[in-house]
Chains A and B, each alone.
Chain A
């Protein structure tokens, strides 16, 4: 009885692990898509309305996906704290907090990091160019992430359970 229970635990643990990895693959395209539209919103606020950065970030945080909102909101709060930090530093600080909670990977974060270095330091055409570049790069990552998701989500879902089963078979 105990053996059967242990087997069940191992199989379900393997399954859960597999599902968690698969979830990362399936969430990344969702977050990248939301990120792209959030940057589009930011570009509109900056280039058409010339909204000050803190206010623009707040507006984007209100309208964007709840998973991404903290990145924009925390940058806004840091800018409003009058601590003397620049937009790059505020963005970097928010990014460090946001990264572990997100499904984004290193190359996505690199794109965001280089965008942070350009935020607020040029005229609106300069800002537009930087934001468009970031959106294009995110678009390219999104395509890769969608292909990855297609390939890996099912794989990891099965792999988790099967891995659990293999362990059970070896030790049973």
Chain B
């Protein structure tokens, strides 16, 4: 999608396309027409586009979902729903891969492909196994296009609690929440601000290294970040987290290493290595509470090590990206104080 350009006398103002516009090239003309026909206020709230073969097209918005009709308006009656066809699924599968499925073998194995701009497309179908492990997916019949948003300033209210203002260093921080609560958006803004520096907190920018396994954080296109991740940020795109963290540690002399959605035992083992190298870590994980974190053996080990200094629970109680709780890693209790209350009241517009 080309960006709109307006000429104003001698200045050239380039308008970035909206996040929803960035995913339109991945959709066939029929579905594109339906979505672009929706009212602008709905489009701005668009978070997900779900396509399931022979079932209605569903658009996930920040406040629920809608089923659009052929005329491009939300349909109430089932006869007005737009039913996704096999041809639609095939087309989307081709378009999201730039008609180059062969170049996305590893991504198919993991069940997702990332679009330019960091928008992730989840895929379901029939898994083809080899030695008990998924080799690829075939008969793809379901797709979920998740629209990634960049919200500058989303982390501003949280930053005072993850920076040790006396020593000027960043605290090891784990953001956790169920899916769709804005972890990636929050982490991206933390990275941007730490890298650029925060004058209000008297914090000078530090070198941040990012392992962006799924190209969601920096939205790299041919190695160049398309999202604003800060002037002192190095991004290792498409690399496995465990391997990437060590590569960056050895080669880029970071003060902070950031990575999204840790989950495997290998990731946790690599994190332990990073903690022991004197580098601070920012990361996210899927969990709805501390108790859930504790139930996962690899995470329990990490908690027992007492290396994470801040746990931040995000939620959707007020809006996507609501900071529900900030927990001190030493005491494992919520941080007290009026400032924290103020931070928890803050409503980010993710």
User: What is A's interface to B at a CB cutoff of 8 Å?
Assistant: 46-47, 50-54, 56, 79, 82-84, 86-87, 90, 119-124, 126-127
With A84-B95, A87-B94 as contacts: A123 and B100 at CB distance below 8 Å = no
Contacts of B90 in A (CB 8 A): 86, 121
Contact B28 A52 (CB under 8 A): no
CB distance from A99 to the nearest CB of B (A): 21
Cα A54 to Cα B105 in complex, Å, equals: 18
The distance in angstroms between the C-alpha atoms of A104 and B28, with both chains bound, is 32
A-binding residues in B (CB < 8 A):
1, 25, 27-29, 32, 90-91, 94-95, 97-103, 105, 136
**How distant is the Cα of A52 from the Cα of B222 in the complex, in angstroms?**
12
Chain A nearest CB from B20 CB (Å) reads: 15
Could you list some 23 contacts between A and B, CB below 8 A? A47-B102, A50-B100, A50-B102, A51-B100, A52-B103, A53-B98, A53-B99, A53-B100, A79-B99, A82-B25, A84-B25, A84-B27, A84-B28, A84-B91, A86-B90, A86-B95, A86-B99, A120-B100, A120-B102, A123-B102, A123-B105, A123-B136, A127-B102
- With A84-B95, A122-B102 given, can you name 7 additional A-B contacts, CB distance below 8 Å? A52-B103, A53-B99, A54-B98, A84-B91, A86-B94, A120-B102, A127-B102
Q: Kindly list chain B residues whose C-beta atoms are within 8 Å of the C-beta of A54.
A: 98-100
Does the CB pair B1–A82 fall under 8 Å? yes
Main secondary structure of the interface of B (DSSP, over half): helix
Set A50, A56, A120: member contacting B94, Cβ < 8 A: A120
**Are A121 and B94 interface neighbours, CB within 8 A?**
yes
B98 and A46 form a contact (CB under 8 A): no
Residue of A nearest to B31 (CB): A84
Contacts of B27 in A (CB 8 A): 84
Q: What separation, in Å, do the CA atoms of A83 and B90 have in the docked complex?
A: 16
Give CA–CA (A79, B105) in the complex, Å. Answer: 21
How many whole Å from B31's CB to the nearest CB in chain A?
Answer: 9
Minimum Cβ distance to chain B for residue A81 (Å): 10
Task: Please give, as numbers and ranges, the residues of chain B lying within 8 Å of A121 by CB-CB distance.
Answer: 90, 94, 99, 101
Q: Is the CB of B103 within 8 A of A51?
A: yes
- In the complex, the answer to whether B29 meets A120 with C-beta atoms within 8 Å is no
- Which chain A positions have C-beta within 8 A of B98? 52-54, 79, 120
Inter-chain contact B29/A84, CB cutoff 8 Å:
yes
List the B side residues contacting A119 at CB < 8 Å: 99
